[in-house]
Amino acid sequence: MARIDSPSISPDGRWALWRTFRASTDRNDYTACWMIAPVDGSAPARRLADAGEIEWLNGYPLPGTPAWSEDSASVLFRKVADGEVQVWRASADGNGLRQLTREAGNVRDLVAIEGGRAMLIALGQDRRRVADAEQAEYDAGTRIDASVDPQRPLHHGDRIEGRWAAGRLRGFWFEQGGILPVTQPLLRLLDPLTGDVREPTEAQKSLYAPPAKAFDQEGDWFVTERKTAGDGRGTALVLAHGQQTSLVVVDGNGRERGRCQAAACTRSRLRSISWMGSADAILFETRNGQGGTILSRWDIASGNVADLAGDSETLTGGGDGDGCAASSLHLVCVAAAADSPPRVVSINVRDGRSITLGDPNPALRSEPPAFERLVWQDRHNRSFSGYLAMPIQARGPVPLFVTYYACSGYLRGGLGDEYPLRAMASAGIATLCINRYPADPGVGGNVAAYRIAASGIAAIVDRLAREGRIDRARVGAGGVSFGSEVASWLAIHTRLLRAVSIASVTVSPTYYWLNAVKGREVPAVLQAGWGLGSPDPSAGARSRKAWRDISPAMNADRITVPVLMQVPEQEYRPNVEVLARLQAAGRIAELWVFPHEMHIKWQPRHQLAANVRNLEWFRCWLQGVCTQSATALERAEPSAKAPRSLCRWLGSSEKGKGEPAQPATP
């Protein structure tokens, strides 16, 4: 599947630009390019320029941040290539491509100011100085302090700005950074025509606002989005506090210019935002009751809000934060839905008509199976939503696989695309992706969130079983990040599952002590967000109970279902304790680790391997069809407490013919 992001519209409103990138398992990398088309669809989209390498932050692709010249004749963009990041310029007519900058520090941000007459570039530290510091530490050894994450490789273990670097913790929680301490970016003024770089004035510097990072705050509010206009209009912010969000514009001195008070700004959580060309107005996104997008315009001076477009599809491609590009006449968005792969659409803001500008995934539109949107309530009347794919030729109740967290856009595998939902459904396993119940921003209330998730999952499993669609005795679960934590919780606290697969780090005593070096905030966050104090026995009964409630490592006696762990290299070390404890208790458990992966796997070969192994794992445990997973189990120690029926069918002539195994009673 070709993925699409970074939509943009030229200042004159004529051109639509976007980036598309596609994975290659042969090269274990991605090919990315910039595409351009007339915004009115009068000519087909064409390739404009090579977009360089994709930047990844904890496995998420960072947007490409294009910036147009004032005359709309050319577009500038940051290009990652050969371990450095510079600004390139491409002519809109396709007749010119040139590298504009050759700075000693990488260009970390690019913002058009003064209507595109000039560009502000934010430079990082000198690449040679960074490399020298890495080599000096390699030669002399590394002193372990609060900047060192012991879960990560010390030398060249982080992917930063197109190179393998010595990563360090440079902010709150696990915020990634380089070996040198963080400094303010060096702002320079770039002439988009000549490529000349010079010192900006203080007034020009005030037009710059860095993109929002996780856990950024303004007072008691979290900043979830930050978009600068690059001129006197200021910077737009989406602020979040509890279940509330607020849309605010501030000037260059941080003083509030306006705050959206209309009902449309409070009807649901605000998501992506964009400035509407040169107008003093903001385009913002909310979601409707069908999981689709509503795009609205807020005029800052008058305070008026008008809905411009609404759809059953997601008009931000399924991602949160990339958003649409906007001019006074058109919106350019990445449209996608559960069964509709991403494409680029242009929407006329006057009449709402939509046309397709680019559709790189036409073959996937008819690809079975189809997902059905479900909405249900748990026993506390909390409302949940998700998408169910039933096997095409389902006969009677079928096994079910559940993943919980984020199910926006075209569905492949939930957050991180770790679980091959379509392949599972094609193989006879119903698959269900469930959206997380809304949570407050920050790190608190996690145990309550696990209980809410378990309640919502139990409710839909009960409903589907009553309808005769799924077999409640053959349910598996898996997830990434928070979804992984929910899957672990289910394995510990319920009898719902027959098998589980997790893809992220788990909280264990090993995890605690790896992150408890003086100066780290992790122990305090674990206490505030999970109620976890020190795992030391002297910490008292309350702490022991909290660890018993949450940590898979402390529940080898409760976890009786087979456990598959496929974890990035930066997160696997605490999970070794989980593996060892499960094995010592005679449980069935496997731990696979993927080198040079961070939080979400981004390398195509690793994604493919994880998908294949998950498919085999759940076919084995939910259907009794075992291949490589069965081979691994046949090599297990004789004392392994596998279900007797498993041992029986592994040795029978029916092995691999699809006869389901009966699970051990939890």
Overall residue count recorded for the chain in this entry: 666
- Arithmetic mean of pLDDT, 155-175: 92
pLDDT at residue 319, rounded to an integer: 64
- Arithmetic mean of pLDDT, 205-224: 87
Nearest Cα residue to 481 out of 509, 515, 504: 504
- Arithmetic mean of pLDDT, 260-288: 89
Residue 59 pLDDT > 70, yes or no? yes
pLDDT at residue 396, rounded to an integer: 83
3-state secondary structure of 281: strand
Condensed to tens digits (0 to 9), the pLDDT of residues 406-442 reads: 998 999 999 999 999 999 999 999 999 999 998 887 7
Residue 658 pLDDT > 60, yes or no? no
Nearest Cα residue to 630 out of 654, 664, 606: 654
Residue 135 pLDDT > 70, yes or no? yes
Local confidence band at 138 (pLDDT 50, 70, 90 cut-offs): very high
Q: Rounded distance, CA 103 to CA 536, Å? A: 51
Task: Tokens 């005359």: give the residue.
Answer: 71
Domain holding 452, by residue range, is 368-508+551-650
Nearest Cα residue to 59 out of 603, 600, 656, 640: 600
Q: Which two tokens stand for residue 51?
A: 């977009």
Cis peptide before 369 (omega within 30 of 0): yes
- Arithmetic mean of pLDDT, 11-31: 96
Q: Can you say how many angstroms the Cα of residue 635 is from the centroid of all Cα atoms in its chain? A: 36
pLDDT at residue 634, rounded to an integer: 44
Q: Rounded distance, CA 369 to CA 388, Å? A: 10
Is residue 260, in this structure, part of any structural domain at all?
Answer: no
Is residue 543, in this structure, part of any structural domain at all?
Answer: no
Is residue 407, in this structure, part of any structural domain at all?
Answer: yes
Condensed to tens digits (0 to 9), the pLDDT of residues 370-410 reads: 999 999 999 999 999 999 999 988 788 999 999 999 998 99
The mean of the pLDDT values for the chain is: 90
Is residue 493, in this structure, part of any structural domain at all?
Answer: yes
pLDDT at residue 628, rounded to an integer: 57
Alpha carbons within 13 A on the beta-carbon side of 623: 23
Condensed to tens digits (0 to 9), the pLDDT of residues 109-123 reads: 999 999 999 999 999
pLDDT at residue 219, rounded to an integer: 85
pLDDT at residue 65, rounded to an integer: 85
| Angle in degrees, 0-180, between the axes of helices 482-493 and 541-550, rounded to the nearest 10 | 100
Residue 566's CATH number: 3.40.50.1820
Residue 631 pLDDT > 50, yes or no? no
Which residues, at least 6 apart from 489, have a Cβ–Cβ distance to it below 8 Å? 450, 451, 453, 454, 550
pLDDT at residue 649, rounded to an integer: 32
- Arithmetic mean of pLDDT, 155-161: 92
Is residue 294, in this structure, part of any structural domain at all?
Answer: no
Burial class for 35, CB neighbours closer than 10 Å (0-12, 13-18, 19+): buried
Condensed to tens digits (0 to 9), the pLDDT of residues 340-378 reads: 999 999 999 988 899 999 999 999 988 889 999 999 999
Higher pLDDT, residue 598 or 252: 598
Residue 473 pLDDT > 50, yes or no? yes
- Tell me the Cα Rg of the chain: 26
What percent of the chain has a predicted confidence (pLDDT) above 90? 76
User: Are the C-beta atoms of residues 607 and 417 closer than 8 Å to each other?
Assistant: yes
Is residue 525, in this structure, part of any structural domain at all?
Answer: no
Q: Rounded distance, CA 188 to CA 198, Å? A: 6
- Arithmetic mean of pLDDT, 315-325: 74
What percent of the chain has a predicted confidence (pLDDT) above 70? 93
Is residue 518, in this structure, part of any structural domain at all?
Answer: no
DSSP 427-488: TT-EEEEEEPPP--SSS--HHHHHHHHHHHHHHHHHHHHHTTSEEEEEEEEEESTHHHHHHH
Residue 92 pLDDT > 70, yes or no? yes
Q: Rounded distance, CA 344 to CA 633, Å? A: 46
pLDDT at residue 325, rounded to an integer: 93
Which residues, at least 6 apart from 480, have a Cβ–Cβ distance to it below 8 Å? 405, 414, 415, 416, 418, 503, 504, 600
Is residue 594, in this structure, part of any structural domain at all?
Answer: yes
Residue 197, CA distances (Å) to 77, 120, 446, 508, 638 in order: 15, 9, 48, 51, 70
Count of structural domains within the chain: 1
pLDDT at residue 389, rounded to an integer: 97
Residue 660 pLDDT > 50, yes or no? no
3-state secondary structure of 361: coil
Condensed to tens digits (0 to 9), the pLDDT of residues 239-257 reads: 998 888 899 999 988 899 9
Condensed to tens digits (0 to 9), the pLDDT of residues 504-558 reads: 999 999 999 999 999 999 999 999 999 999 999 888 888 899 999 999 999 999 9
DSSP 156-175: S-EEETTEEE--EE-SSTT-
Residue 197 pLDDT > 60, yes or no? yes
DSSP designation for 651: S
Residue 662 pLDDT > 80, yes or no? no
